[in-house]
Amino acid sequence: MADAGMPQISRGLEGVYVDESSVGKVDGQEGRLYYRGYPIAQLSDNSDFEETAYLLLNGQLPDRQQLESITKQLAESRDLPKGIVDIIKEMNSKADPMDILRTATSALSAYDTEVQDASPEANMRKSIRIISRMSSIVATIGSVAAGREYVAPDKSLGHVENFLYMLNGARPSKESLDIMRVMFIIHAEHSSNASTFGTLVAGSTLADIYSAITAGISVLKGPLHGGADEASVRMMRAIGKPENTESYIESALAGKQKIMGFGHRVYKTYDPRARIIKEYLIRLQDHSSEEVRTLTAIALRAEKLMVEKLGQSHGIWPNVDFFAGPVYIAAGIPVELFTPIFAASRSSGWCAHMLEYWKNNRLFRPLEYYTGKIDLEYVPIDKR
């Protein structure tokens, strides 16, 4: 029998507003995403990661001098301390790349003399260092996994170009650079998702920003948040050939299996980020490898079937993860790095939200409705 005094419980905090924010807005009904008021499509078409990071951190687009300043700060922070490289090498082949990223990012605090300085100015400087070095960590994870040594950063390169240079030991093609520029921008921010909330919960205790970002990485690792792009690619590879797509999807749906890359907790229509990535994928397919062309054909057929069956009727549409995998593969990115790259990009959004929240900080302390027994009599162990 239900307790008459039981409060209304919003599991997963669904529909609960925890704060105000001007960093990002997700319009799930209309399928729109804004960074500080700017539509994501405008930024992906016109911006670069440095400018987008400045926008998120500072609330406005930079002028030329401000852009040059953050670009210089990001470039000067890229090089990893030897101890961080040693952690990556030690954990290589023993741990998931997200575990390596989490551990290495946490360890960065040992090399930051401002770690205990909680002033807004110091937190901004630390945020820029975190954003810069997380990309270097992910690139080094990939480089070491491929059997190469640590590639020192090139300060003359932009943020995304340097990431690809550190990952592969060579400057990227224009096509790969353009793909990754867009991927870094569209993954940079997404309002109060699970990992952003995890970051804020940790930071609300007034833990340092390294602790807060490490919490964000930990939350992102879970397959219900990060990792769906990897799962989507593995599904496409399991399908094998484009002509197998419909039978595979029909069989999976009949067995009530989840089709990875479809559906979203907030979007009730087409994810705007998925539209952007889909356009790039279609544009790239004729100039890509046979695998990318095959994955693209499978993705487009799967999308058509899923939209027809579940789009309008159930509000299940492609999300950002569905087309991301084939696009990453077109840029030469190994599957194991999909989620770490997501984290490296999202660090800019995490830091922006943390800096904003600290301006009016309040410790998160939600209530929990107790349903267990009370006033039990303790029984000594020899009488149990």
Catalytic positions, written as ranges:
264, 321
- Cα 339 vs. chain centroid, distance in angstroms? 6
Q: What is the DSSP string of 115-132?
A: TT--SHHHHHHHHHHHHH
What does the block give as tokens for 311? Answer: 């789009």
Judge whether 248 and 238 are in contact, CB under 8 Å. Answer: yes
Reference 364, options 243, 252, 215; nearest CA is 215
At 34, is the secondary structure helix, strand, or coil?
A: strand
Reference 239, options 277, 294, 289, 288; nearest CA is 294
Please tell me what DSSP assigns to residue 221. Answer: H
Q: In the beta sheet, which residues pair with residue 32? A: 27
- Provide the 10 A C-beta neighbour count for residue 223: 11
Q: In the beta sheet, which residues pair with residue 38? A: 35
Please tell me what DSSP assigns to residue 253. Answer: H
How far apart, in Å, are the Cα atoms of 123 and each of 116, 119, 128? 10, 6, 9
